[in-house]
Amino acid sequence: MTIPIDCKKAAVLMLFYPDSNSDTRMVLILRNKYNGIHSNQISFPGGKVDDLDKNLQQTALRETFEEIGVNSSLIKIINKLSSVYIPPSNFQVQPFVGYSENNLVFKADKKEVALIITPLLKDLLNLKIVNSKVSVRGYDHEVPSYLIDNQVLWGATAMMVYEFMEFYLDMSNS
């Protein structure tokens, strides 16, 4: 697929952190319902590039702070994944993988975030792909997805999770 030259740029952060039991967790958000293509979807914290952002990594860190209240000084970026083009919204999204050594406290931006979801890494690594019905522009579609905390994770975010899991499992087996 050819990515349009006029596509919008965005970045997201796949953030991991230790909880109070020293188990590793990942952060996902459920976006609020609004009149837009990504309404009420599970995603990583992130969003569109701002004119003041120096690069995509800064976009991901800024958006993470704005959406879930985690300061960039607490986050170490350790990798990036393949960028993903999302045709319905004409966004090319660059996912970054980050880690915090702190047990994080979240403050959801009520305008953008309906719910913060923090699954355990060990549970993510055991996820199986299932088919789920989702509504896109008023039409129901059956799509490959993951179920996390009774929420349907599909589309670009599911692709990013899959890539991370493949990379993590390959590294673990090396």
Is 129 domain-assigned?
no
149 belongs to a structural domain: no
Query: Which CATH number characterizes residue 67's domain?
Result: 3.90.79.10
Each residue's pLDDT tens digit, 90-135? 899 999 999 999 999 999 999 999 999 999 999 998 999 888 888 7
Q: Is residue 155 part of a domain?
A: no
Tens of pLDDT, residue by residue over 143-159, are 888 999 888 898 899 99
DSSP letter assigned to residue 2: P
Task: Name the band, by pLDDT with cuts 50, 70 and 90, for residue 37.
Answer: low
Per the structure, the complete domain to which residue 30 belongs is given by 8-124
Beta strands in 7-157 (DSSP E): 8-18, 24-26, 28-31, 42-43, 46-48, 76-80, 84-86, 91-99, 113-117, 130-136, 139-148, 151-154
Sheet holding 139-148, edge to edge: 130-136, 139-148, 151-154
In DSSP notation, 100-133 reads -SS-------TTTEEEEE--BHHHHTT---EEEE
Average pLDDT (80-94) is 92
Within a domain: 164: no
What b/e string do you get for 97-110 counting C-beta neighbours within 10 Å, with b at 16 or more?
Answer: bbbbeeebeeebee
- Give the count of domains, the chain: 1
Cα gap 28→116, rounded to integer Å: 6
26 part of a folded domain: yes
Structure tokens at 10: 């965005």
3 state DSSP class of 62: helix
Q: What is the DSSP letter of 49?
A: P
For residue 38, name the pLDDT band (cuts at 50, 70, 90): very low
Pairing of strands 46-48, 8-18: antiparallel
Distance CA(15)–CA(41), nearest Å, equals 18
Tell whether 2 is covered by a domain.
no
Q: Stretch 35-56: mean pLDDT, rounded?
A: 84
139 domain-assigned? no
Contact 74, 100 (CB under 8 A): yes
